[in-house]
Structure 1
Amino acid sequence: MTEADRTETDRTSGETIDRTSRETINKTTKDKIDKNASRPLVRQAPIRLAMLGMVDGNGHPYSWSAIFNGYDPEEMKRCPFPGIPAYLDKKSKHSLRIGGAQVTHIWTDDPEDAVRVAKASLIPNVASRPEDVIGKVDAVIVATDKGHEHVERCRPFVEAGIPVFVDKPLVDNEHDLRTFASWIGQGKPILSSSSMRYSKEFAPYRKSTHNLGKVRFATITTPKSWERYGIHALEAIYPIFGPGFVSVRNTGTAERNVVHIKHVSGADIVVAAHADMYGSFGLLQLCGTAEHAFVPFQDTFYSFKAQLQSFIDYLRTGIRPFPFSETAELMKMIIAGIRSREQDGREIALSEIGPDLHDLQEGKRCRK
C-alpha cells in the first residue's frame, strides 16, 4: 500500500486526509447506517445450517462442518483429505468449535459422500435433495469452489429468502456476476469470501504498511487453477491494497497462470497460480521503498474459523463484514484473468466488465 494510497487530497477543499483517519470516519458513518438500517437475519438459537455440495479436490464439508459440530476422530481418519484431520487434531474441543450454530443437514453431489461427512462431522440429517432443507434450516453454506455452478446452486435458497454463504470464488464469468449483483440489489442476504481474507499471518499488513514505505511491487503464489484458487491469492492482497484495482494481464496458460495486476496506487502485483505448486501456497512478498516483507501463510484452521465466524456474525447482526462491491471487484479480476489468457495476454481493464462497482449497494438494484 503506497503513501499515495494512504493519503489523498479532498477534491473539494484540498485538505489532505490520512488514510487511517479517513477509514475511521467512513467506518463510523457506515456503522451508524448499518445499525440503524440492519436487523438480525436469524434469531434462532442455535442457528441451523445446511452444508451443501461437494466437488473434486474440495474437502470443506468435512472441515467446515467439524468447526461447527466437532467430529468423530475415528470417522475423520477416513476423510480423503489427510490434511483436514491433521490440523483438526491439533485443536482442543474448546478452541475447535464456533458456538451458537450447528450444521444440522448435509447434501452432497455424490450421496455416499454425504453419509461419510455426516458420520465424521456429526451431522444428524442427510438430505436427498438440496431443496429439501428449505424450512428446516436458517441458512445454507454452498461449499463448492466452481464459480460457474454457483448461480444455480444458490438460486433455490436465494428465491426462498434463506441467507447463503458461498465458497470462493463466487463466480468466474460476467453473466453470473450480474445475476448475483442483481440479487444483492434486491437485498438478498448473500456472502462469499476466501479464507485468506482472514489469515492471521497477513493481518499486520492489512492494518498498515507504513514501515515499508511506498509499496511498489507485490507477489503472491497459489497452487491449482486460476479459476478455482486465484481468488485465494487475490483476497489475501485485497485488504492490504484496498479497492482500486485497474487492470489484469495473464501471460500464462491454464496450468501456469502468471498474472500482472495494476492498482490505482501505482503498485504492481503479480500472482503465480501453477497447477502443481502445492508446496508454495500463500507466499506473500511486499516490496516497499523503505523495507520489504516476506510472509508465508500457515494456519489454515484459523482462517477457516474466522471466515465462518464472520458469516455467523452477519446472520446475528445483519451487518455485512465487508461490502459486496469488494467481492464484485475481486470477481472482476478473476474474470479478467481468464479473459486475458484466452486473448493471448491482452491487458483487460476491470471497467470492461460489468456491473458498475458504484452501483453495488445492498438493497439497491444495479444497472444492467
Structure 2
Amino acid sequence: MFRIGIIGSDNSHAEIFAKLCNLKDKDTQEYAFPDCRVVGIYGHDKYRTEEVAKNAQIEFIAQDPREFMGKVDAVMVVFRHGDLHKEYALPFIEAGIPTWIDKPFTIKNSDAREILEVAKKHKTLVTGGSTCKYAEDILMAKNIVEGQDEIGKVKTAVISFTTNFENEYGGIYFYGAHLVEMALEIFGYDVKSVTSSKSKDCVTAILKYSDYQVTLNFVEDLMEYNLIIIGEKGTIVRNIDISNVYKLGFERFVNMLRTKKQPYPLENIYSSVKVFNSLVESYKENLSIQVPGN
C-alpha cells in the first residue's frame, strides 16, 4: 500500500485527489486505486484542512509537514500559490520521497530549476503540473501534429482556454499554467520566443517555433475551450474536454509509484515555467521575449 500525504488544503485539488484515492467509485463500488491511500494532510487553514480530511476520509492531520517523514511513501504538494511549492516540496525530494507538485509547478524559473537539480541529485521521482495536458483531446492533437498524416505539416494553430487575472495566488499564473502546458504538450517544448499583449479580459500570446507560430488566448471566465490546428492538408477544430483530467493525472502519479519510473520529463515542466514567464514579461514590457536556456 502506497501511503500518500497531501500538503496544502486550500486547493480543491487536495480534496479531489484524496477522494479519487480514498473513496469507492459510486458506480462500481470499487476503489479506483486499491493500492494507494491518502493517509494524512497538512494545510494552513485549520477549518479547511479539517473539512477536506472529513470529506475524503483522511485520518491524520499534521500540524507540521515534517510529521509525514516516516509515515508516507509519497507526497502531493498542492498549495494554490506556486511560490509555496519549492519550500514544501524540497525536504521530501531531498529525502528521496516521490513528489507530485501541482500547477503552477512554480512561478519563478529559479525555483523550478532548483527542484529539477535536487531531484536529479537525490534520484527522486518528481512529477506534476497541470493535469489538463493529459486530456484525451490534447493527446489526440499531439498525435496528429507528430504524425502529420491527417493534416500534413502544421502551418499555425490557436488554443483558447479560461483564466483568472485577479486573485491572491499569483494572478495569471494560478490558472494560466493549464494553457501553457497543454500547448507545449501538443507542439513541443522548443519555443524560441514569445510575443504577447493584454486587454481587459484576455492575454493573447504568440509562441514562435522554428517552422510555425501558435497563438494562445487566455480568456477571463471562458466557458468553452477549443483548439484549431491548420496544416498543409487540412484543419482540425476541436473542443477540449477536461472533465476527466484529475483522474488521468493521478493515474500518472500512481503509475510512477508503481513502476518507479519518471512519467514525464522534468525538463519539460521546467520549459513550461520558462515559457510562461517569458509570456508574462512580454506583455508587461511590450516586447518580444526570447525564451531563456538553462
Q: What TM-score does the superposition give when structure 1 sets the normalisation length?
A: 0.72
| Bigger Cα Rg | 1
Residue 18 (structure 2) pairs with residue 65 (structure 1): yes
The answer to whether the 8 Å contact 1:178/1:354 transfers is no
**Matches of 2:289 and 2:31 in 1, distance apart?**
42
The answer to whether the 8 Å contact 2:77/2:99 transfers is yes
Which of residues 142, 161, 176 is equivalent to 1:230? 176
| 1:292 paired residue number | 235
State the 1:299 CA deviation.
4.0
The answer to whether the 8 Å contact 2:4/2:37 transfers is yes
Q: Which runs of 5+ in 2 are unaligned?
A: 166-171
Counterparts of 1:59-98 in structure 2, within 5 Å, are 59-70=12-23, 92-94=27-29, 97-98=32-33
Counterparts of 1:1-16 in structure 2, within 5 Å, are none
The answer to whether the 8 Å contact 2:9/2:52 transfers is no
**Matches of 1:349 and 1:95 in 2, distance apart?**
50
State the 1:52 CA deviation.
1.2
Paired residue type of 1:213: G
The answer to whether the 8 Å contact 1:229/1:273 transfers is no
**Matches of 2:284 and 2:76 in 1, distance apart?**
32
Alignment coverage as a number of residue pairs:
283
Q: What TM-score does the superposition give when structure 2 sets the normalisation length?
A: 0.89
Which of residues 181, 189, 195 is equivalent to 2:131? 195
State the 1:254 CA deviation.
8.2
Taking only the aligned residue pairs, the percentage that are identical comes to 24
**Matches of 2:234 and 2:30 in 1, distance apart?**
36
Q: Which runs of 5+ in 1 are unaligned?
A: 1-45, 72-87, 356-368
State the 1:227 CA deviation.
1.1
**Matches of 2:236 and 2:30 in 1, distance apart?**
30
Flag the 1:337–1:254 CA change in 2: closer, same or farther, 3 A.
Answer: farther
Counterparts of 1:39-58 in structure 2, within 5 Å, are 46-55=1-10, 58=11
State the 1:204 CA deviation.
2.2
Paired residue type of 1:285: I
| 2:288 paired residue number | 347
Counterparts of 1:1-368 in structure 2, within 5 Å, are 46-55=1-10, 58-70=11-23, 92-94=27-29, 97-186=32-121, 187-209=123-145, 210-223=149-162, 224-225=164-165, 226-252=172-198, 256-264=202-210, 266-277=211-222, 279-280=223-224, 282-300=225-243, 302-344=244-286, 346-350=287-291, 353-355=292-294
Flag the 1:205–1:222 CA change in 2: closer, same or farther, 3 A.
Answer: closer
Paired residue type of 1:70: L
Flag the 1:331–1:299 CA change in 2: closer, same or farther, 3 A.
Answer: closer
Flag the 1:204–1:354 CA change in 2: closer, same or farther, 3 A.
Answer: closer
Flag the 1:328–1:294 CA change in 2: closer, same or farther, 3 A.
Answer: same
The answer to whether the 8 Å contact 2:144/2:151 transfers is no
